[in-house]
Amino acid sequence: MQLVALIKKHGFAWLDFCLKLGSCFFLLSACENATPIVSQNLLKDFNIRSSALYQLSKVPFSALPGWKAGRQNELIPVFLKSCEKTKRQQPNKKVGKLAKMGLVKDWIKICKIAAKIDFTNIIKARYFFETNFQPYAYGDRWQSSGLFTGYYEPELFGSFQPNSRYRFPLFSLPKDIITSNVGDFDPKFKGNNIFGRLTNNRYIPYFTRRQIEEGALNGRQLEILWVDDEVDAFFLHIQGSGRIMLSDGTFVRLGFSGRNGHRYTSVGRELVGMGVMSLDKVTMPSIRDWMEANPLLARKVMNKNKSYIFFRVLNNDGPIGSHGVVLTPGRSLAIDPEYTPYGIPVWLDTMLPTGKPKERLRRLFVTQDTGAAIKGIVRGDVFWGSGSEAARKAGIMKSQGNFFLLLPKPIEIN
């Protein structure tokens, strides 16, 4: 395609420039999908996304900002966790949805080498990555930069029995949610799953957050436990996992089990639309403060986010990401698996959440998780761990950045 050839020749800067002038229209129009045979209402109701155009551009390690100052050795144990999942897959299976990202057997070979590395030695670890991987600048058809945020494992107070204090239930996954792959009906929607339920022989979207909060699931014995704060419960849904402290001082760890399938709506953007706060002031702490000061309005705003998360009890030393491994603070990255595979080392260049404008976060991560708000090619969410400091970092992290995929050297991208 003309667009791909021009980007290879001139890089992402050319694409950004011509898009601003509108001169890329004749090229981009050839990349658009044909008009879908399903209605736009169905696309909206069931959260179906159309495909995007990937851009991968080979770069040297010297082009990765801060690479020589990185502590690449700290990523080896994190990468090996994902290797355990990779080794259980069929060797000839494609990694992710791009054939260009290689086969499982390419990654198994790298995993075997990584298992022999002395990860206490920075030099040896850096040599391992430089010898076995090729960095690629990663982007979509519009740009090579995107939004990077943070998340953490919340800590809440709860009980296995409801009472006047513990009134807000956390549910396990209902059995009547039916998941369908739309690609089975039309190949152009391959990989898009919808979540619904049957009623009067009709397949319709599953209950919304508001319907569930108003009792749509009552009487099914789906409650795992009850917590004492509605706002805390809502943020637990956003984070996807958390620890619940019981009255005897013990903890119950909950992890993601499923969702109702409705599109995630940012409450921060809702508050901006209401004129409550400006976009640059939207952080997790500012949203929480407003909700606690305005509980009735907060409930209405929360219900605008129709997405609802279901949980399960975990018996692990940490939260489990969508890749099925225990997440590592400051090294696990949540991405959109529609575009970026799990288990991939990526070099991230964005702002460190310290509030100081010149401090950069330049570090290797492994893609091990996802989230309802993490949509798009250039989009990431850094896991910061548990506790108040992790919550602070996650709450204020919201900045533009870039990331680079590290793919095994035998994989050639044309």
Residues 129 and 105 in one domain: yes
Is a pLDDT exceeding 80 seen at residue 28?
A: no
Residues 155 and 223 in one domain: yes
Residues 102 and 196 in one domain: no
Residues 184 and 97 in one domain: no
Residues 155 and 191 in one domain: yes
Could you tell me which of 409, 408, 404, 411 has the C-alpha nearest to residue 12? 404
Residue 269: CATH number of its domain: 2.40.240.50
Mean pLDDT across 362-379:
92
Averaged pLDDT score across all residues of the chain? 85
% of the chain at pLDDT higher than 70: 85
Range of the domain at 240: 151-314
Query: Which strands sit side by side in the sheet containing 251-259, from one edge to the other?
Result: 168-171, 223-227, 155-159, 242-245, 251-259, 309-314
Residue 371: CATH number of its domain: 2.40.40.10
What does the pLDDT look like over 262-312, one tens digit per residue? Answer: 999 999 999 999 999 998 888 888 999 999 999 999 999 999 999 999 999
Residues 166 and 258 in one domain: yes
According to the model, what pLDDT value does residue 87 have?
94
According to the model, what pLDDT value does residue 101 have?
86
DSSP per residue, 162-205:
--SS--EEEEPPPTT-EEEEGGGT-GGGTT-EEEEEEETTEEEE
With cut-offs at 50, 70 and 90, classify the pLDDT of residue 10. Answer: very low
Mean pLDDT across 162-177:
96
According to the model, what pLDDT value does residue 410 have?
63
